[in-house]
Amino acid sequence: MSRILVMIPSGEVYDHNNVRWYSHRDIQRNINHYHNIGDAFVFDSSLKLLNFDKLETLTIREFNPDEIDRLREEFDYVVLRGSNYINEQMNWELSEQVLNRLQLPVLAFGIGAQAPVDGKLSLSNTTQNVLRLIADSTASIGVRGNYTAEILSDIGITNTRVIGCPTAFRRNDPDMKIRLPNIDDVRKVGVTVRREVSPAYAKDIRQYLTFHRDLIKSVAGRFDTVLMAQGELEEKKLVLGTQDQCEEAIAALRKNAWVSEWYLDDEIEALYRNRLFYSEVVSDYDDCVKACDFVLGYRLHGNLMALANGVPALYFTYDSRTREFADTFSIPSFDVFGDQVFRLRDFWDQSLFDAFNRAYADTYFTMSDFLTENRVAHFMRERTTLSHPQTALAM
Q: Please report the pLDDT score of residue 117 as a whole number.
A: 83
Which letter, b or e, does each residue of 174-212 get, where b requires 16 or more Cβ atoms within 10 Å of its Cβ? Answer: bebebebeeeeebeebbbbbbbebeeebbeeeeebbebb
Q: Please report the pLDDT score of residue 388 as a whole number.
A: 41
On the question of pLDDT at 390 being above 70, the answer is no
On the question of pLDDT at 391 being above 60, the answer is no
Confidence of residue 389 (pLDDT cuts 50, 70, 90): very low
pLDDT in tens, 250-291: 999 999 999 999 999 999 999 999 999 999 999 999 999 999
H-helix or E-strand spanning residue 228: strand 224-228
Per-residue pLDDT, averaged over 240-250, amounts to: 98
Q: Please report the pLDDT score of residue 395 as a whole number.
A: 30
On the question of pLDDT at 162 being above 60, the answer is yes
On the question of pLDDT at 191 being above 80, the answer is yes
CATH architecture, domain 183-350: 3-Layer(aba) Sandwich (3.40)
Q: Please report the pLDDT score of residue 116 as a whole number.
A: 85
Nearby residues of 177 by Cβ (< 8 Å), 6 or more positions away: 310, 357, 360
Q: Please report the pLDDT score of residue 387 as a whole number.
A: 40
Q: What's phi and psi for 294, nearest 5 deg?
A: -160, 145
CATH topology for 2-172+360-373 is: Rossmann fold (3.40.50)
3-class state of residue 319 by DSSP = coil
The alpha carbon of residue 184 and the mean position of all alpha carbons in its chain are separated, in whole angstroms, by 31
Per-residue pLDDT, averaged over 347-357, amounts to: 97
On the question of pLDDT at 217 being above 70, the answer is yes
Q: How far apart (Å, rounded) are the C-alpha atoms in residues 114 and 112?
A: 7
Q: Please report the pLDDT score of residue 119 as a whole number.
A: 76
Nearby residues of 89 by Cβ (< 8 Å), 6 or more positions away: none
- Domain span(s) for CATH 3.40.50 in the chain: 2-172+360-373, 183-350
Confidence of residue 26 (pLDDT cuts 50, 70, 90): very high
How many CB atoms neighbour CB 311 within 10 A?
Answer: 18
pLDDT in tens, 8-19: 999 999 999 999
Please classify residue 130 by burial: count the beta carbons closer than 10 Å to its beta carbon, then call 0-12 exposed, 13-18 middle and 19+ buried: buried
Confidence of residue 203 (pLDDT cuts 50, 70, 90): very high
